Each structure stands twice: as C-alpha cells, then as structure tokens.
Amino acid sequence: MAYNSLKRVKRIVGTSGVLLIMTAAVLLELIAIIQYEYSHDEITKNLRLRAESELRAKDLAIQNILKQVETAVENHVWDAERLLAYPDSSYVVTRRLVEQNSNIIGSSLSFIPNYYSSEGYWFESYAVRRENGVIETMQLGSAEHDYTGMEFFEMPVEMDCARWSNPYLDSDGARMLLTTYSEPVHDSSGRVVAVLDADVSLDWLDNILSMQYVSPSSYHILMSHTGQLMSYPDKGKVMRSTFEEVVSGMKDTLLFDLNRRMLAGESGMEIVSDAEGDKYYVFYSPVGEDTGWSLAVVSSENEVFGEYDKMRTRLLWLRIIGIVILGFIVFRFMRNVGRLQKITVERERIGSELSVARSIQMGMLPKGGISKNGSEMLEIEGLLVPAQEVGGDLYDYYVKDNRLYFCIGDVSGKGVPASLLMTVTQSLFRSLALCRWRCENCGIYEFVDGGHE
C-alpha cells in the first residue's frame, strides 16, 4: 500500500513537475509583462504630461515676447501714418521703436517705390541696435538691397495685413539671423504706402528653449511655416535647412508624416527612429495663432526608460533564479521520493518475509482442544501473542500412553534470533518426547542424556 502510494506520488510529481515549473515560469512572465505594460503606459503618460506642460510654457514665453513686439509695432504705426508728409520723420519712428523695446534688434519703415520722389525709387529708413548698445540709423533701400521683393515687405503690401516673416539671415542691416513682424502703413485714403516692421533676433529663442527640458538629453526643434529650422541641436542647419531635408536620408517614414503634421499646425506625439535605429518620443504643437511656427520637444526612449529597463532586467534574472530554485526543489523532492520508495519496497519485502515466518511459527504451535487418552478426556488451551512479527515465547505439549508431555519457555530477547531459538527448542522438545515413547516400546523405561540405561 505504502509502496503504491509513493509510486503514485512519484509518477504524479514526475509527470507534472515540468508542467509545474513551466506554469510558474509562464505566470511569472505574464505578471511581469502586465506590470511592464502598466508601468510603461504610466511612464509614457507622465512623459506626455511633462512634455505638453513644457510646450505650453515655452509657447507662452515665445508668445509673450512676440506679443510685445506686435503691440510695439501697432503703437508706432499711428506715428508713421501721422508723419507720412515728412520723409525724415521715418528715422525717428524706427529709432524710437528700437529704443523703447529691448526685444527688438532693428526696425525699418519701407515705402513703396517712388513714394518720395526726392528720396528715389527705394526708400527704407532703418534703425539697429549694435552689440555695444548704440543705435544706428541708415537708409538701406537700393538696387543691391531691393526690399520690395522680400517677404517682410511684399506680403503685408499684397495682403494688407500684419505678418511674421519666415526667419532669414539679414546681411545688410542687423547682420544676424532674424524674424520680422510687419504691419502695413496706410495714407489718408487707406492705400498701403509703406510697411513698418520690427526685427527680432533668434538668439532669444534659444534662451527660452534652453530654460527647461523634459530629460537631460532632450532637445527642441522650432520650425517656421515653410519648414525652415529656427532652432535645432546642429546649429549648422539652423536657417540653412528644412526639417524635411534633415530627415530625407532616414528610413523611418513617420518622420515625413511628423513634418507634414507640424507644417499643418497640428499637435500630438510620434515615436520615430533616427538613422542608427534609436527611438525618440517627439511631442509637438504650434506656436501662437499667427506665426505658423511649430515647436517640438524630443526625448530619447533609452533615457526615458533606461532605469526602468535596468530594473526590469534585474527582476527577470530574479525570476529565472526563482524558477531554477523551484526546479531544484522539485528535483530534490523526486529524488527523495525515489529513495523513500526503495526503502518502502525493502520494508515491505522484509515485512512479507516476517509475515511468512510468523505464519510458520504460529503453525508450529499446538492447537488447543480436547484430547482423549483412553477413557479420560484432557482439555488443553494455549495462546501466544508475540510483541513483534515473530518472537521467542513458546509452549508445546504431547500426550501419549496416559502421559502428558509439555513445555513452556521464554527466550531472552525478541525478534528473529529469539524466534530461531524458540523453533530449535520446540523441535528438541518434540524429539525428546517422541524418543521417550519409542524407547518404552523397546522395553527400556529410563531415558537419560540421550542414552539408554
């Protein structure tokens, strides 16, 4: 019974041990995957919130400066229209605009061709703040500097509305990278006769964009309404390349979709890959309502999830160690069950042999009952209950010719040795009793020490 139970246990453990380990491994991995997905989503949500907050903050900072510039130009348009009859007053307007606004690096009042016959075909009064703080005024209009075909002049005149220009390199006036806000100037009849503008250096954009980052290695991309880069980590591409040109050699098609969305003034998030295959999270949104600019903050996936991935790797190794330990426990358990099975088989074999020995021993003892000797009846009863399977207690009797031969004995000790001695003693008793009977048939009455007298 015990052997069969152990055999069944070993078979169950043997067949299900591998399944147990595999199930535990699968469950641990499923739990890890669920935890990873949940944590990954939470980290991504937190990253999105931080990026959107940063984009809003920098959008507001940029808009604040742009609004100051727009308000300053609007306030001085009235002066320019009021003083149209005096050509020299245009220098006063532009100088005052630069003096009163630290965010404005230069200002020009550009007139339509031949508006002042005395000033020639081109007349553009310009004021600029140099690096030493001195404000210079000059007339920039000429055949070499034909402002009439430039965006800051052409678009406000044609559309009769205020407008921010695409960033450009001014090599004649401020001699730096600029973006210009322009408003049309009307004469008394309402005709557009000039454009008053304010030049803003792009340096302040870098100052604003570098104030805060989502992560230490993150960076910003600011592009104009034509896709021209206004801010980019590689300064050599600023104002010299478009975003589409920068990503043209990369395989990830999402970059081109990102470029399209940013040019369309959309906001959102994209996960893109660079030329080396490294992934980046790009959060983007438009800047202001009228600029046409788009701002993006870029964060490396390796940096965002770096520490978390390290922790995930450590937990993976811990799970592997746990599964190995579980397998070792199952292996040791199966080996111990095998040992116990062998011991049980041996015990059952010995028990079976002892049971046979017990049956033989008990069969050697006389049965109780009534024995008839001549005309007399002799009632004999005996009972032997060994403490173990076999023992050394004995009793026996023999009735012959009105004589009762009996013996009762207790061998020192228990178990097999006592049983063997008991068997020998009982055999000797029978032999002696039977020998006595035979000797009497021979006419010899006495029996002493195995000889006859």
Only one residue has tokens 């062998």, namely 342
pLDDT given at position 369? 59
CA distances, 41 to each of 36, 37, 260, 305 (Å): 8, 6, 27, 11
Q: What is the CA 437 to chain-centroid distance, rounded? A: 100
Q: Which residue has the tokens 């920098």?
A: 58
Element (H, E) at 310: helix 306-364
Model-level pTM?
0.60
Same fold, 83-204 and 213-304: yes
How many Å apart are CA 442 and CA 293, to the nearest integer?
143
**Residue extents of the structural domains in the chain:** 1-52+311-362, 83-204, 213-304, 365-452
Could you count the other beta carbons within 10 Å of the beta carbon of residue 183? 21
Q: Please work out, in degrees rounded to the nearest 5, the angle formed at the alpha carbon of residue 435 by the alpha carbons of 431 and 437.
A: 125
Share of the chain above pLDDT 90, in %: 18
**pLDDT tens sequence across 272-325:** 887 777 888 888 999 877 778 888 888 887 776 666 667 777 777 777 777 777
Provide the mean pLDDT of the chain: 79
Domain covering 83-204 in this structure, CATH number: 3.30.450.20
CATH code of the domain made up of 213-304: 3.30.450.20
Nearest 5°: the CA angle 78, 152, 102 is 60
Q: By three-state DSSP, how is residue 265 classified?
A: coil
3-class secondary-structure state, position 88: coil
Question: Out of 5-14, 110-119, 213-222, which region has the weakest mean confidence (pLDDT)?
Answer: 5-14
pLDDT digits (tens, 9 = 90+) for 339-363: 777 777 777 777 777 777 777 777 7
The answer to whether the beta carbons of residues 180 and 197 sit under 8 Å apart is yes
Phi, psi for 324 (deg, rounded to 5)? -60, -45
Helices 89-99 and 2-82, interaxial angle, to 10°?
Answer: 150
Q: Write out the two tokens for 178.
A: 């600029």
Quote the crossing angle between the two packed helices 2-82 and 306-364, to the nearest 10°: 170
Q: Where are the alpha helices (DSSP H) in 272-305?
A: 301-304
Provide the greatest CA pair distance for the chain: 184
Amino acid, res. 70: E
Q: How far is the C-alpha of 273 from the C-alpha of 300, rounded, in Å?
A: 10
How far is Cα 109 from Cα 371, in angstroms, rounded to an integer? 153
Instruction: Calculate the CA 252 to chain-centre distance.
Output: 24
pLDDT value, residue 389: 66
pLDDT at 57: 85
What per-residue confidence (pLDDT) applies to 115?
92
Q: Supply 155's token pair.
A: 């678009």
